[in-house]
Structure 1
């Protein structure tokens, strides 16, 4: 396993070796009511809870993460569980508290980690890209931290310069010698290209994706909407790789290789009893990713992480239900096996408590960029 945790030097991407960014069309299911998308999953969860006689059995899939990573977990605490031999695959980070002097704490953390601007600043507890921002200098750092109430845990993290991002859903049944990748999804930020004539607002409204859901994109660009970008200038409309914030997804499961599977498995096996969740990473090129090299992990998420290939264009609503049932059904099966090994869940009320705490925190965060 040690050999799998060493990384050859990254190779530069070549033309045609970039992740496909053509998925800028809007799927009819992308922005349906959450009750339509997730309502059947709630019923499915209840049925599984009755079947396994524990509504929180799925949380035991990752017993060393609060609620198995369903909600309310600390991003930093999860990354802390990665073993020393695998730390080079994680984008350097540090968690600190907001409040008086927080900009100095952030700069001190950057100094200890050897980071330069730009960096990523995000809440330590959150979901769906809430509060995530790319910070380009000390003034932006100070201004963003001032938007938070005091004593909120936030994370400063190295900004990975690779252009492409992926979400890889990993799963391993207890006792299996090796885990597997259930899905891989490429994420991309829709962008507009300046023509030297049109305002940014006009470019967004004319975009084949953004123009159909302008309420997702325009608020983030409010201060710049009357700008006229010069010809050829590419302007990403969103930074965070999250569907609810406007990123588009493409199912790339067919590109998964044994080499990539072995690498991800070797990294996650350094964590105690991590069995089911999604790894979000940025990578240099499609070919290097398939070879299991030249990438860095941004986050490791537990059972609450979506199988995000369900948001790819062309996925029907029935497909979305089948995907969710498959992934969460597997979490229950894993959790039930861990229960047989002596682990005990903290029950449904603990899940509710963590969800309420997370929701209360998210309400305090500044908007994402």
Structure 2
């Protein structure tokens, strides 16, 4: 019987909860969120968690401004492209920073890897920026072979924090058999086929090539779940040494106490000792402990519980900042307006992504 990739993709996403809509991970937890708000006597108590980041990192913040909090030694060389900016001006900034192609272009306000692209030439970058009229960050491409997300939290009154989640990222890869084309290998791979439209577009000039036997071909360089990257629970790697390294890092990032750092690194042993890594971005209060999407080591209800546990930590950090350090909670009306604006922007870049 002929393999129906469309039917398989549809059924697979229904019966595997890691692909379910985000709302199904948060709506069931809303009663707990309201309980915490009542306990704090403020609906936007969480907005005091990260005073160094706009609205503590609710998704409306500039990623470029947040990156500015990080010492240069820990981050990729980056420049900011303002919507409508003349490309020659952008190119001059790239050259002044000595950023070489390929580069990574990502929306300054963005999520889920939408419109994040590896770009290999000036001409392609120019066309890309002209096509999507939003603010972008242009970063040097970091060629460390591994990527992970580390969720770090610290109570503002304490010197040492904790790591609550490590997510290892396995990039989508196929292996040649010396007979099949890349297109056929993608269709026959049970994970790659779920993202075939995206992959076909990205590799459209290579689909008819035959991959040598046992040769691996990486289909994506962007470490996002929606682009095929597999999230693997790496919590067994949490250690005193790694936590100590992140305590030192956290001490150099003002006003950040809660969230996930996305990192590229060479090997975990050197990362554990605080060496040979680059921070791609810092996420604030909307951070997810993404290890929960490893369906082999978790369950749907376990994922919901992990989210609640992190919200409990968020509550403690925010209320401590408010009571001890007099960090104000954001006005509820202002926060709601920000949320509505973010929703409109989200629809905009989602539509852009569909066009791409």
1:118 to 102, 107, 111: 102
Alignment-derived partner of residue 8 in structure 1 = none
Distance in structure 1 (CA, Å) of the matches to 2:115 and 2:84:
16
Deviation at 1:51, TM superposition (A): 2.0
2:317 to 334, 337, 353: 334
Q: Per-residue deviation at 1:275? A: 0.7
**1:269 aligned to 247, 251, 254, which one?**
251
Corresponding position: 1:49 with 2:57: no
Specify which structure has the bigger relative contact order, considering alpha-carbon pairs within 8 angstroms and separated by 6 or more residues: 1
Corresponding residue SS for 1:223: coil
In 1, distance between residues paired with 2:161 and 2:36?
Answer: 23
| Cα distance, 1:165 vs structure 2 | 0.2
TM-score (norm 2): 0.87
Q: What is the match of residue 10 of structure 1? A: none
Using the size of structure 1 for normalisation, the TM-score is: 0.84
CA distance in 2, matches of 1:348, 1:236: 45
Does the 8 Å contact 1:106/1:156 carry over to 2? Answer: no
Q: Which moved more, 1:114-123 or 1:344-353?
A: 344-353
Of 288, 295, 301, the residue aligned with 2:277 is: 295
The alpha-carbon deviation at position 252 of structure 1 amounts to 1.2
How far off is 1:278 after superposition? 0.8
Question: How far apart are the structure 1 equivalents of 2:342 and 2:176?
Answer: 39
Go from structure 1 to structure 2 and tell me whether the alpha carbon gap of 1:357 and 1:229 turns closer, same or farther (over 3 Å shift).
farther
Query: CA 1:200 to 1:331, structure 2 compared with 1: closer, same or farther past 3 Å?
Result: same
Structure 2 equivalent of residue 347 of structure 1 = 331
Q: 1:263 to 1:112 in 2, by over 3 A?
A: farther
Q: CA deviation at 1:361?
A: 2.8
Matched residue, 2:77: 92
Aligned-partner Cα distance in 1 for 2:102–2:268: 24
Q: Contact between 2:183 and 2:207, CA under 8 Å: does it hold in 1?
A: yes
Q: Which residue of 2 aligns with 1:190?
A: 172
Q: 1:77: Cα distance to partner?
A: 1.0
Structure 1, unpaired ranges of 5+: 1-24
The alignment status of 1:202 with 2:187, answered yes or no, reads no
* CA offsets 1:284-309 (integer angstroms, 9 cap, x no match): 11221222211111111111111110
Rounded Cα–Cα distance in structure 2 between residues aligned with 1:96 and 1:214: 29
User: Residue 69 of structure 1 corresponds to which residue in structure 2?
Assistant: 57
Q: Please say if residues 260 and 292 of structure 1, whose CA atoms lie closer than 8 Å, have aligned partners that are also in contact.
A: yes
What secondary structure sits across from 1:162 in the alignment?
coil
